[in-house]
C-alpha cells in the first residue's frame, strides 16, 4: 500500500528500492515510519513518477444483500466479477460502504445498512481479499445514504452544536471502516462522498479534524469524492493525497451534439481540472465516472436511471460520451485515472438497474473501456512515442 502524506509523505518509487504498493496483504507494520521525509517533492505529477501505473478502475456496487442473499460483496458471484474486471483490463476496484441518515437535518449516522454492521464488515473484507486475489487494488468509499431521497451535499444539521454532534457520529462511521481498511489491506480510502455543505464552507474544519483522526487509523493514501461542480470550491485538498472528483460532467447542453462538440467540451474541462491540480499540487482521480445507456446521456449525466421515463436506450451515445471525456485526460501525467460507475457484485443479477442504466457491461461502452484501459496513460510514467491502438494513443500496456 502506498503511503502519501501532506508534509509527512511517502510516495512509492519502483526501481528506486522504495516501498511498493502491493496488490494486497501488506499491513501497516511493514510500512516505513510516517514522520520521515518524502523521497522527492510532492506535486501534481507525483503519481507518474511512482511506477504504479494509472488507475484503471471500476466501481462494484453492493447489491442489497438482505434482499439478494449470496450475491453481494464477498460472494462467489463477486469473485467472478473481479475476474471479469481483471480480464477487461482493470487494475483497481472501488467498494462502497453506506451509512444511513434520515433526511437533510440528521443528528447522526447509522452504520447499519441492509445487513447488520458486523456482517457488512465481514463481507467487505472478503471482497477486498477477492480483489487482491484477482490482482486488483481497492479503493474503499464510505458513502451517506439519505432515506428521504435528498442529495447528501445539502445536509445541514442546524446549529454549531448540532453540526458538532453530527460530525462526531460521522467520524465514528468512517473510523469503523478505516479500521477495516487497515486490517484488510485496502490500498486507498475516501473520507466521504459529495459533502458540499461541509467541504466548501465554514464547516470544513470539522472534516479536517476527521481527516487527522483517519490518518492515525489508516496508513494508506486518502482522497475525497467531490461533486464535479463544487470541486473547485472544496477546501480540503491540502490535507489529502489525491483530488477526487465524481466526474459526471455534462458534455453538451442540448441533444444531438456531434463528436467534435463533445470532445471540445471535454478538452475545456481538462484544462480547468489541470489548473486545479496545479493550484493544489495534487494529482486528480475520477472517483466516479460514467454515462447512462440512453440517448444524449452527455446532457444532464447525473440523472438517476430509475427517475427517467420514456427513455430511448442508446449504446452508441453512451460509448461516445465515454470516449469524449476520456480522450483529453488519458495523456495528462497529473491525472491518476478513473473508477467507472458502475457494475454490480453479481453481473448476472440485472434487477438492480434498468437497461438504460450506468453499467457498461456487455455494451459498446465496454469496448471503449477495453481500448482505453489497454492504452498508455500519462500517469503510467512513460512518454508517448506515437503508436496507436484503436482510438487511443498508446505505448505498450500499463497495468
Q: Which tens digits make up the pLDDT trace of 379-398?
A: 998 554 444 434 444 333 33
pLDDT in tens, 136-165: 999 999 999 999 899 999 999 999 999 999
Predicted pLDDT at 114: 77
Phi/psi of residue 242, nearest 5 degrees = -140, 135
Give pTM, 2 decimals.
Answer: 0.87
Query: Longest C-alpha distance within the chain, in Å?
Result: 59
- Across residues 285-306, what is the average pLDDT? 94
Predicted pLDDT at 43: 84
At 57, is the secondary structure helix, strand, or coil? strand
Nearest alpha-carbon partner for 220 in 381, 30, 15, 17: 30
Predicted pLDDT at 160: 96
- Length of the chain, please? 399
Answer yes or no: is pLDDT of 16 > 60. Answer: no
pLDDT in tens, 196-250: 999 999 999 999 999 999 999 999 999 999 999 999 999 999 999 999 999 999 9
Residue 242 parent element (H or E): strand 242-246
- Across residues 69-79, what is the average pLDDT? 90
Q: Which domains does the chain have, with CATH numbers?
A: 54-394 (3.20.20.80)
* CB-based burial label for 183 (10 Å; 0-12, 13-18, 19+): middle
User: Which of these ranges, 19-33, 49-63, 157-171, 306-320, has the smallest mean pLDDT?
Assistant: 19-33
Average pLDDT, whole number, for the chain? 85
Burial 84-106 (b: 16+ CB within 10 A, else e): ebbebbbbbbbbbbbbbbeebeb
Amino acid at each position: 500500500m502506498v503511503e502519501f502524506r501532506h508534509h509527512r509523505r511517502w510516495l512509492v518509487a519502483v526501481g528506486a528500492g522504495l516501498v511498493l504498493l502491493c496488490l494486497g496483504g501488506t499491513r501497516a507494520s511493514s510500512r516505513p515510519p510516517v514522520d520521515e521525509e518524502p523521497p522527492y517533492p510532492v506535486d501534481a505529477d507525483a503519481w507518474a513518477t511512482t511506477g504504479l501505473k494509472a488507475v484503471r478502475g471500476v466501481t462494484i456496487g453492493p447489491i442489497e444483500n438482505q434482499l439478494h442473499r449470496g450475491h453481494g460483496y464477498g460472494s462467489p458471484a463477486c469473485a467472478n466479477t473481479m475476474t471479469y474486471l481483471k480480464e477487461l483490463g482493470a487494475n483497481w476496484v472501488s467498494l462502497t460502504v453506506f451509512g444511513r441518515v434520515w433526511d437533510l437535518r440528521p443528528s447522526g449516522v447509522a452504520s447499519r445498512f441492509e445487513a447488520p454492521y458486523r456482517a457488512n464488515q465481514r463481507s467487505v473484507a472478503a471482497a477486498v481479499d477477492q480483489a487482491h486475489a484477482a490482482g486488483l487494488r481497492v479503493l474503499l468509499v464510505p458513502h451517506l445514504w439519505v432515506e428521504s431521497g435528498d442529495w447528501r451535499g445539502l445536509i445541514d444539521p442546524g446549529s454549531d452544536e448540532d453540526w458538532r454532534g453530527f460530525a462526531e457520529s460521522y467520524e465514528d462511521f468512517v473510523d469503523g471502516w478505516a479500521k477495516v481498511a487497515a486490517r484488510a489491506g485496502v490500498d486507498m480510502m475516501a473520507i466521504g462522498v459529495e459533502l458540499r455543505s461541509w467541504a466548501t464552507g465554514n464547516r470544513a474544519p470539522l472534516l479536517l479534524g476527521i481527516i487527522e483522526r483517519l490518518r492515525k487509523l489508516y496508513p494508506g493514501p486518502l482522497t475525497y469524492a467531490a461533486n464535479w461542480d463544487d470541486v473547485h470550491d472544496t477546501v480540503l485538498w491540502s490535507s489529502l493525497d489525491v483530488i477526487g472528483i465524481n466526474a459526471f460532467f455534462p458534455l453538451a447542453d442540448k441533444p444531438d451534439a456531434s463528436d467534435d462538440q463533445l470532445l471540445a467540451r471535454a478538452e475545456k474541462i481538462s484544462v480547468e481540472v489541470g489548473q486545479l491540480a496545479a493550484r493544489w499540487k495534487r494529482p486528480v482521480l475520477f472517483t466516479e465516472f460514467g454515462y447512462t445507456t440512453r440517448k444524449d446521456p452527455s446532457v444532464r449525466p447525473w440523472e438517476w436511471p430509475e427517475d427517467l421515463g420514456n427513455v430511448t436506450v442508446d449504446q452508441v451515445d453512451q460509448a461516445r460520451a465515454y470516449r469524449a471525456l476520456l480522450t483529453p485526460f488519458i495523456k495528462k501525467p497529473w491525472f491518476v485515472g478513473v473508477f467507472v460507475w458502475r457494475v454490480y457484485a453479481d453481473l448476472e443479477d440485472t434487477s438492480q438497474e434498468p437497461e438504460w442504466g450506468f453499467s457498461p457491461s456487455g455494451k459498446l461502452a465496454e469496448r471503449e473501456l477495453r481500448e482505453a484501459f489497454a492504452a498508455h496513460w500519462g500517469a503510467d510514467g512513460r512518454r508517448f512515442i506515437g503508436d496507436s491502438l484503436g482510438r487511443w494513443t498508446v505505448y505498450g500496456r500499463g497495468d
